[in-house]
Amino acid sequence: MTNIKLVALDMDGTLLNSQSRLSKGNQAALEKAMKAGIYIVPATGRVYSTLPEPVKNLPGVQYVLSSNGAAVYRVGEQSPIYTNFMSREKALEIFHAIEDIDCIKEFYVEGYGYFEQSILQKIDTFHIPEPFRQYYGTQKKTAQDMKSFLYARINGVEKINLPWITTQTRAELLNRLSAIEGIALTSSIAQNIEINKQGAHKGDGLKGLCDVIGLDMSQVMAMGDSGNDLEMIQQAGIGVAMANAEQQIKDAADFITLSNDEDGVGYAIEKYCFGK
């Protein structure tokens, strides 16, 4: 038995299966842990408003790490309890550097993802898979003019997401972004680039949450599969990689559990929280 008091869980490729659903096995393990007084904390690159409903509405989930830890929310509240945003000026610098590249550019602000309204006219050209296609025009919001929108963001930007890009577009974006100082580039899937302020990551957000609720990172188990999970895997008392994880995540982890299609989250919870 370990002294785990909080379990931080990446969403896509970790808690959710290949159909982006929460399995009955994982749900049962989460409910068991919460009944035992263990915090279950979704830790996602997603913006807060697009957290899957089965996760957000799971009784007992009190906190969410969103935007790769740049914004930590108490469920049901509109304002984050911990933030690590990039400045308005840095967001504008990034926007100008990649403005002419034909891709979706999402800016995460105040719990929502915003993209330029003109994108809706050619949304089908970006080959967005379901269930993510439904977010555009519903859970995500549009801005008529992104430059003006960003200029008005005096409190900064949580994260910038460049999703559903081709290999060629990705290479060009990385070439331009690598010249910009003070930012961190990660990915949760092969077809995206995620941009945060340097030092803003899931490990930092997790530490910020632990400070708020009075826990030590040694009391945390963190699970993930992709590059944006690396810091929380490294900093948690127990870092767990999924069987389907990238090799760098497996190398950093203390334990490799089953895949996201085999209830790997539930397996690790039983092992480290209940000694089974």
Nearest to 78 by CA among 68, 66, 87, 90: 66
Mean pLDDT computed over 34-50: 94
pLDDT value at residue 220: 98
**DSSP conformation class of 205:** H
Q: Could you report the per-residue pLDDT of 47-71, keeping only the tens digit for each?
A: 998 888 777 778 899 999 999 999 9
What the block records as the tokens of 146 is: 């992104």
pLDDT value at residue 1: 53
pLDDT value at residue 157: 98
The Cα-based distances of 143 to 48, 114, 148, 150 in angstroms read 18, 6, 9, 9
Residues 6+ apart with CB under 8 A from 96: none
> How far, in Å, CA of 227 to CA of 203, rounded?
12
Cis peptide before 131 (omega within 30 of 0): yes
Tokens 């891709």 correspond to what residue?
103
Residue extents of the structural domains in the chain: 6-83+201-274, 88-197
The Cα-based distances of 90 to 66, 70, 143, 147, 196 in angstroms read 20, 15, 18, 12, 10
Mean pLDDT computed over 156-166: 96
pLDDT value at residue 80: 95
Give per-residue burial for 264-276: e unless 16+ CB within 10 Å, then b: bbbbbbbbbbeee
**Average pLDDT of every residue of the chain:** 94
Q: Cβ(267)–Cβ(250) under 8 Å?
A: no
Q: Could you report the per-residue pLDDT of 10-20, keeping only the tens digit for each?
A: 999 999 999 98
Q: Cβ(136)–Cβ(129) under 8 Å?
A: no
Instruction: Say yes or no: domain 6-83+201-274 is CATH 3.40.50.1000.
Output: yes
- Rounded to an integer, what is the distance from CA 148 to the centroid of its chain? 26
- CATH class for the region spanning 88-197: alpha beta
- Do 6-83+201-274 and 88-197 fold alike per CATH? no
Least confident of 57-66, 129-138, 199-208: 129-138
